Amino acid sequence: MFALVCKDGADEVQAQCAGVFDVRVVTAMSELKRLAAQGDLEGVFVDARLGVTSAVQQRLAGTAVYEYTPPFRIADAMRWHEQTRRAAPKTEAPQSVSPPVSPVPEPPPKQEEAAVRSAAPAPLALRRTVSAPVRRRTVPVILLDSPKGGAGRSTLGAHMAYYGALRGKRVAVIDLDTNGDIAQKFGFADAPDVRGWRGQSVEEAVRDGVCLVHESGLHLFPSAQSPEVVLQDPEDAVYLLQLCLEEMDAVLLDMPQGWTPVHQAVLPYTTQVLFVVVPAVDQLARIQEHADKLVFAGLSKADVSPILNKSKKARSDERALEQYLLPFSVRAVVPFDPTIDKRGGINGKRIVRAMKPFWDEAFGFVAPRKRRRFRLFGR
Ligand SMILES: Nc1ncnc2c1ncn2[C@@H]1O[C@H](COP(=O)(O)OP(=O)(O)O)[C@@H](O)[C@H]1O
Ligand SMILES: [Mg+2]
C-alpha cells in the first residue's frame, strides 16, 4: 500500500492510481509511522508544497518516498516505483536498506527550480492556513507553545518579554490562553476583557484598558478569563497581533496547550516557535505528536526551538527527549528553579542564564549564529 500526503487533490491522485497503486490518504505522521511499523507501507507520495518531504524521509527511514509537485503524473510515479524496486535489495530488511531512492532534490531546490515550481498554486502559502498576512517589516513573533499545560510557556515568555523590555525593545505579550493568566506574573490582578475589541492603535488599547502597561514598558493584552470562554476567538487574536506588528519590536503569543484553531490563525505570522517541554516520561508520546503537528504545519527546523524546562539533569534529560523532538533539536535546557515563585513571576535567575543566548538572538541583540547548541546551565 502507498500513503498519500497532500494538501489537496487527493481524489485526482487516487483516480490516476486506480488499478496501479493502492493509495491511502494520510494526514498525520503518527499514522504514517504506524503503517510503516505494521509493514504495510510500500512507499509514500508527498505533495512538495507541504514542505514535509525530508521530515517524512527522516521519520520513515527505509521507506521509499516520492515527492511530486502537482499536478500528479502517474507515469512519473510508475517510473519512480520501477527505479525504487530495482534499487531495493532482494532480501526484506527494511532497517538496513540504504536511503530511499527518491527524485527528491536534497538539499531543497535552488532558485531556478524554485521559479519553475512557483507555477504551482501558492506553494509557500500552504504552511499558513489562514489568509496571507501582510507584513511591513520583520517583527519577531514568538509562539509560546507546548503540548501540555504547566510546561512553563507563560513563565519563560514572561521572563523573555521582561528581558527585552528592560533593554529598550517595545515588546507586546498577547495572552491567548484562557487557562492561566500571564498578567499575574507581572502583578496585574484583574485582567480586562479583550473580546471583540476593535480599536485602531496600541495607544487606544491602553486608553480603553484592553492593554496593560508594565513598569518595564512592556505591553500586555490579557486573555478573556471569563469562565464561559474556553478558547480565545482566533479573529480577536489575529486582530490584536496585526495591531502589535504595526507598532512593536517583538510580539510574544502565550498559546493554549495542545493544537487549536488559535494556533492555525496565528501561525502565518509566527517567526519562531518556542516549543516548551518538561522532561517527564508520561509526556513523551504527546511531545512527539506535537512535533509531528509542527512538521505538518510546514514549520522547518529553523522555525522551531525546543526548550527543556524544569530540568533536573540537563544532559540525561536532553538525551532522553531528543528522539521525540525530531526533526527539531533542543535549543536550551532550563533548570528547575525552586525559587521563582518566591521571587515573583519574572525573577528566575537560572531561567535568565539558560535562556539569554536564545533571547539575545531573538531580539536581535546579537547576530544569529549558525545552528549550534546553547551552553547548558551550570557549566
Ligand atoms: N524552570 C522552572 N522552575 C521551577 N518552576 C517552574 C519553572 N518554569 C515554570 N515553573 C512553574 O510551573 C508552573 C507552571 O508554569 P506556567 O508558566 O504557568 O506554565 P504554562 O504557561 O505552560 O501552563 C508555575 O507555577 C511556574 O512557576
Ligand atoms: Mg500559561
Judge whether 143 and 220 are in contact, CB under 8 Å: no
Q: Which atom of ligand 1 is nearest to the CA of 158?
A: 17
Local structure of residue 193 (DSSP, 8 states): P
Q: Is the pLDDT of residue 25 over 70?
A: yes
Report helix, strand and coil shares of the chain as percent, to nearest 5: 40, 15, 45
**Which range is least confidently modeled, 147-156, 170-179, 248-257, 331-340?**
331-340
Instruction: Please return the burial class of 242, using the count of CB atoms within 10 Å of its CB with bins 0-12, 13-18 and 19+.
Output: middle
Work out the pLDDT band at 88, boundaries 50, 70, 90.
confident
Work out the pLDDT band at 190, boundaries 50, 70, 90.
confident
What class is the 141-362 domain? alpha beta
Q: Is the pLDDT of residue 152 over 50?
A: yes
What class is the 2-122 domain? alpha beta
Q: What's the mean per-residue pLDDT of the chain?
A: 83
* Residue-wise pLDDT tens digits, 315-324: 999 999 999 9
Q: Which atom of ligand 1 is nearest to the CA of 351?
A: 1
* Residue-wise pLDDT tens digits, 217-237: 999 999 877 777 778 899 999
Which one of 155, 336, 341 would you pick to mutate in the ligand 1 pocket, going by the greatest count of ligand atoms within 8 A of its CB? Answer: 155
* Ligand 1 site, residue 203, Cβ cutoff 6 A: no
Q: Is the pLDDT of residue 93 over 60?
A: no
Q: Is the pLDDT of residue 367 over 50?
A: yes
- Rounded to an integer, what is the distance from CA 294 to the centroid of its chain? 4
List residues, by chain if needed, whose CB lies under 5 Å from ion ligand 2.
154, 177, 180
In whole angstroms, give the CA distance from residue 47 to residue 69: 6
The residue ranking higher by pLDDT, 6 or 229, is 6
Q: Is the pLDDT of residue 301 over 60?
A: yes
| Residue nearest ligand 1's atom 10 by CA | 152
In whole angstroms, give the CA distance from residue 152 to residue 259: 16
Judge whether 321 and 315 are in contact, CB under 8 Å: no
Beta strand 219-221 pairing with 212-213: antiparallel
DSSP code per residue over 139-170: --EEEEE-SSTTSSHHHHHHHHHHHHHHTT--
Q: Write down how long the chain is.
A: 379
User: What is the predicted pLDDT for the residue at 28?
Assistant: 85
Q: Is the pLDDT of residue 123 over 50?
A: no
* Ligand 1 site, residue 153, Cβ cutoff 6 A: yes
HSE of 104 in the Cβ direction (CA atoms, 13 Å)? 26
* Ligand 1 site, residue 151, Cβ cutoff 6 A: yes
Every domain of the chain and the residues it spans? 2-122, 141-362
